Amino acid sequence: MRFGPFRLSPAELVLRENDQAVRIGHRALDILLALVERAGDLVTKQELIARAWPRIFVDEANLKVHVAALRKALRDGQADVRYIVNIPGRGYKFVAPVRIVEEPDSPRSEASVAAPPSNLPAPLGSVVGRSDQVEAIVRLLSDARLVTVVGPGGIGKTTVAVAAAERLLARFPDGVWFVDLAPVTDPALVPTALAALLGRPVRSTLPIPELITSIVDKAMLIVLDNCEHLVAAAAGFAEALVRDTASAVLATSREPLRAAGERVLRLPPLAVPDRSDGVTAAEALAYPAVRVFVERAIATRDTFTFTDVEAPLVAAICRRLDGIALAIEMAAGCVDSLGLADIARLLDDRFHLLTRGRRTALARHRTLEAALDWSYGLLPAPERLILRRLGVFAGWFTVTAAEAVLPADEIGPLCVAEAIASLASKSLVVVDVSGETARYRLLDTTRAYALEKLAEAGELTAAKRAHAAHCRDMFVTAARDWDLLPTATWRATWQPLADDLRAALDWACGPDGDVGLAVALTVAAVPLWLELSLMEECRVRTERALASLEQAGAAESPEAMRLYTALAWSQMYTSTRTRATSAIWARALALAEASGDVDHQLRALWGLWADSKNRGRFRDAAAIAGRFSALAKTTGQSSDVLVGERMIGDSLHFLGEQDAARQHIERMLATYRAPRHRSDLVRFQFDQVVTARMTLSRVLWLQGRPAQALRMATETVAAAEALDHPLSLCNLLAQAACPIALMIGDLDTARHWIALLIRLTTRDALHGWRTYATCFEGEALLQSGDLAGGIARLQAGVDTLRKATFVQYLTCFLGQLAVGLCRADRLDEARTVIDEALTRCEATDEAWCVAELLRIKGEIAGRDPADTSAADWFARSLDVARAQKALAWELRTATSIAAHARRRGTDTRIGVATLRSVLGRLPDDAASADVVAARAVSASLEVQPRDP
């Protein structure tokens, strides 16, 4: 089957171009054969997948990748020749004319239109994600006659330049000539390299004038590739060509030539996904870096498939490699011997991994290390020193920061600034000038190389120590500024330094590190971790620092007090060891009292209060809230006093005293003014207004105001999201928003908030609240009718909370589990669970949900024909609900009483009267699943209430 210059043999399953075999994978050949066999007809995506992957399910993304490889091999779309067209949403069609021949045609010459001469190299890879840059070069060469493509080694400068030169062939009748300057070591031989290509020998000692004279009237495009090691000579030669001939010059270099009339195009890295977790194959393939990886992987191993399973790993690999095309190709070249997970893991040792460049590539491009060696070898000695020292920075740095890690006696400040600017011009340093102060960073691959050179020079320990000391000084300043700067300003200043902080701590805590620096760094870093809600990181780091202090005999120091406080904070939400957390808070309080530090006494009392609630010790929590309030009154800080009011109100809510709880919370909200700075806010973990409204919304629901409760929860979620403080948002979602939406029966809102809670708690390793989310998922499944799924999710969550002894709200989850078991007619299990919940409430004084648990106990009894105790349980539930003025529970119980009487065939008048009385006390806007159910039961009984 012949088409264009190609011949496809089905028997041999081989594609030839002008009698030369075209190397493409067998799956791509299967797809091509299917298309050519039905040339002119649509072949659906399903048919093509079935042909290339028989009896295997693969994602449609694989088909797209292989079709892209086919188009590349056929040069589809170039010179207006089309072979394969996509029929959106349906499949593909082969559109070129096809001839069927029985025997191969004899080679013969065919007349063709003469093309301009050219020695452009055949592209070894596809030009992925560079169409904008190719177009830009073509456009620039319309306005200017000297354009330089600039970028770091391996980014794809030559590929882009060659692609642009091919587009420009028709514009230069005397040809396009590619001059590779990489092998040229003598600057005087730069013009000779072009002369040799053109067959114009240079005989004089002044080669440029002689060459210019011979081509003065020629309209050529001269591509000067790899000019960085001969930049001065290349600049002079390019200027002469542009000035004295009709030709144009397209150069590639790691720094601009700085020639007269030069236009510079800086080639950015290939675009990479901004995240890797959860990215799909289709989403990932929208990024050029991923497409380069996938194409190269298929070329290496044609059985490679790219699905949603592989997508996150490939995205992570491309991100780690900064979108550098050479590094990505080399990593992809390892898929025949390593799995994607191993490639991602081994990138920490990237220069030993990325050694599989093409055999036909220049030596400096066969490995990533060789590519960087090429650039490093061209640097003067001071710039080499500075580059390798800059390797200690994990993120962005300033000139001032760079000076801190450089030997002051060897390099002056002026030299540092000039050297960094020079390194940036040579594409070895990335520059950001969007802010008031210029920032710099090394690409991750360049940084890894610099660290290797630092180790080879024997300077690694000194540089790491200087970097850790610099980070300590910076974050001591950050801790001070936390009390002085507005939150947005503080975060913008210090959050970008988080990676450097981690790198400094890793070294300081390592075998060659410095314990004193490690402890000081950890103490100084606590504000950042709390501000960003990085609680798991805070827990791990503070545990390590405390162990070091204890070994050094400094367990009574102020640093220990701060570390104990930070450890207890972080452990509350990342660990199941609540008993250990109590001891840590007690230790922090003892140290604060011993040192007279009232601020840390308040923090520790808050922690003990929260810990008591988490463990279900609500009377103890109320007592601690009183201690906090009394101490806060001695500080003269009204905000601390009002925090005490909130703590008391919250404690009373759990004890079932809803009116008193509401009074305390509303009094706090009426006069509380949010602190200007987040440092004050985070002293007690959460935004206090958000937390107060969280409790108030729960009280409002209990008091029979569901619409008001949901409205307050919704508004507070929006406010918490705007704060950008994950801890406050997670606390609100777990303790108010999700349960209120579920209690009201608004499943759409509940599912949205549950999904948000899962996302936040998974990302930040907040294990306690993640378990809440599991329970909420179970409740939502029960409400949607999935009894088996709901019971399973609730059981899993409840089991986790039991083991954690984290019992705040465990009683409610036990109640919902009992409801599910009851509906599934697993009555014995339901009785066991509800009895456990009631026993826990009695032991912990958790009274706010007792009415509901008693009602559920009655419902379980009512399902059993042999059990006559349901009415007694309902009566007890009603008494408790009325005593607590919990109209929401009273409504549920009244509905159960009326429905139970109807089921048992007993007198319904009392039940209906009770139900209608409760309905009459609800506000006009009361709307919830409970209200709908109550009205339905009332209507079904068709009994009119008696006149009072």
How do residues 817-839 score in pLDDT, each as one tens digit? 999 999 999 999 999 999 999 99
Under the banding of pLDDT at 50, 70 and 90, the label for residue 359 is: very low
Note whether 421 and 382 are within 8 A (CB).
no
The amino acid at residue 102 is E
For the segment 569-585, the average pLDDT, to the nearest whole number, is 72
Torsion sign (Cα): 923, 925, 931, 937: positive
- DSSP 8-state assignment for residue 124: S
Residue at 947 is within a domain? no
Better-predicted residue by pLDDT, 432 or 451: 451
Question: What is the spatial distance between Cα 349 and Cα 363, in angstroms, rounded to a whole number?
Answer: 21
Question: Quick check: 835 and 811 in contact, CB under 8 A?
Answer: no
Assess whether 358 and 383 both reside in one domain. no
Q: Is the pLDDT of residue 733 over 60?
A: yes
Task: State whether 143 and 223 are in the same domain.
Answer: yes
Three-state SS for 73?
Answer: helix
Contact yes or no for 422/383 (Cβ under 8 A): yes
Residue at 73 is within a domain? yes
Assigned domain for 599 exists: no
Residues 292 and 229 in one domain: no
* 552 token code pair: 């050094």
Q: What is the pLDDT of residue 944?
A: 44
Instruction: Determine, yes or no, domain membership for 653.
Output: no
pLDDT, residue 542, reads 92
Residue 672 DSSP one-character state: -
Tell me: the pLDDT tens digits for 457-495? 999 999 999 999 999 999 999 888 877 777 778 888 888
Looking at the structure, tell me whether residues 186 and 206 fall in a common domain.
yes
Instruction: Specify the residue for token string 């950042």.
Output: 528
Given pLDDT bands bounded at 50, 70 and 90, which one contains residue 579?
A: low
Q: Which of these three, 403, 432, 458, is where a domain ends?
A: 458
Let me know how long the chain is.
948
Contact criterion met (CB below 8 Å) for 617 and 651: no
Domain co-membership, 153 together with 235 = yes
Whichever domain contains 154, its CATH number is 3.40.50.300
Looking at residue 58, what is its pLDDT? 65
Q: What is the pLDDT of residues 86-97, one digit of tens each?
A: 887 788 899 999
DSSP-derived 3-state class of residue 54: coil
Tell me the mean pLDDT in the region 683-697.
82
Query: Does one domain contain both 304 and 408?
Result: no
Banded pLDDT at 684 (limits 50, 70, 90): low
Average pLDDT over residues 577-594: 84
Domain-located, residue 437: yes
**Residue 329 in this model has a pLDDT that exceeds 70:** yes
pLDDT digits (tens, 9 = 90+) for 649-670: 999 999 999 999 999 999 999 9
CB atoms within 10 A of CB 934: 24
750 neighbors 758 (Cβ within 8 angstroms): no
Buried b (16+ CB within 10 A) or exposed e, 704-729: bbbbbbbebbbebbebbeebebbbbb
Q: What is the mean pLDDT of the chain?
A: 85
Q: Which SS3 state, helix, strand or coil, does residue 149 take?
A: strand
Mind listing the pLDDT tens digit for each residue in 616-648?
Answer: 889 999 999 999 999 999 987 888 898 999 999
Residues 157 and 219 both lie in one domain: yes
Q: How much is the pLDDT for 111?
A: 34
Q: Residue 351: pLDDT band by 50, 70, 90 thresholds?
A: low
For 341, half-sphere exposure in the C-beta direction (CA atoms, 13 angstrom radius) is 1
Number of domains into which the chain is organized = 4
Amino acid at 77: G
Q: If pLDDT is split at 50, 70 and 90, which confidence band does 108 have?
A: very low
Pairwise CA distance, residues 534 & 525, whole Å: 11
Q: How many helices (H) and strands (E) does the chain have?
A: 45, 14
- Per-residue pLDDT of 127-142, as tens digits, reads 788 889 999 999 999 8
Give percent above pLDDT 90 in the chain. Answer: 43
Q: What is the pLDDT of residues 837-859, one digit of tens each?
A: 999 999 888 999 999 999 999 99
Mutual angle of helices 706-723 and 688-702, in 10-degree steps: 160
Residue 198 confidence class, pLDDT cut points 50, 70, 90: confident
DSSP for 868-935, please give it: --HHHHHHHHHHHHHHHT-HHHHHHHHHHHHHHHHHHT---HHHHHHHHHHHHHS-TT--SHHHHHHH
Count the neighbouring beta carbons within 10 Å of the beta carbon of residue 868. Answer: 11
**Enclosing domain of residue 26:** 2-94
Q: Reduced to 3 states, what is the DSSP secondary structure of residue 113? A: coil
Mean pLDDT across the stretch 901-906? 83
Q: Which residue has the higher pLDDT, 637 or 586?
A: 586
Q: How far is Cα 762 from Cα 740, in angstroms, rounded to an integer?
A: 22
Residue (of 7, 206, 195) closest to 105 by Cα position: 7
| Residue 113 in this model has a pLDDT that exceeds 60 | no
Residue indicated by tokens 């800086």: 266
Residue 18: CATH number of its domain: 1.10.10.10
The pLDDT tens digits of the residues spanning 759-806 come to: 888 876 667 788 899 999 999 999 999 999 999 999 999 998 888 766
Rounded mean pLDDT of 335-343?
80
Q: Is residue 564 part of a domain?
A: no
Last residue of a domain, one of 402, 433, 458: 458
Q: For residue range 42-71, what is the model confidence (pLDDT) as tens digits?
A: 999 888 888 887 766 666 766 876 787 787
Least confident interval from 64-68, 289-293, 321-325 = 64-68
Contact predicate 157/177, CB 8 Å? no
Each residue of 215-226: pLDDT tens digit? 998 999 999 998
| Beta strands in 403-490, from DSSP E residues, in sequence order | 430-432, 439-441
Q: Which helix (H) or strand (E) holds 8?
A: strand 6-9
For 172-197, the pLDDT digits (tens) are 999 999 998 987 888 988 998 898 88
Please indicate, yes or no, whether residues 81 and 138 belong to a single structural domain of this protein.
Answer: no
Mark which of 34, 67, 94 sits at the end of a domain: 94
From 379-393, 437-451, 581-595, the region with the lowest mean pLDDT: 437-451
The answer to whether the CB of 727 falls within 8 A of the CB of 533 is: yes
| 209 and 183 in a common domain | yes
pLDDT recorded at residue 252 = 95
One domain, residues 53 and 148: no
Contact 393, 442 (CB under 8 A): yes
Dihedral (Cα; 726, 729, 733, 737), 10-degree rounding = -160
Same domain for 218 and 138, yes or no, is: yes
Q: Would you say the pTM of this structure is higher than 0.75?
A: no
Q: Considering only residues 207 and 812, tell me which one the structure prediction assigns the higher pLDDT.
A: 812
The reported pLDDT for the residue numbered 349 is 63
Q: Are residues 253 and 308 in the same domain?
A: no
Which residue has better confidence, 111 or 601?
Answer: 601
Mean pLDDT of 862-877: 93
**Helix/strand/coil for 582:** helix
Backbone angles phi, psi at 129, to 5 degrees: 70, 20
- Please give the pLDDT value at position 21: 72
Residue 13 lies in a domain: yes
pLDDT digits (tens, 9 = 90+) for 491-525: 888 888 988 999 999 999 988 889 899 999 999 99
How far apart (Å, rounded) are the C-alpha atoms in residues 948 and 945?
9
Q: Are 541 and 566 in contact (CB under 8 A)?
A: no
268 neighbors 296 (Cβ within 8 angstroms): no
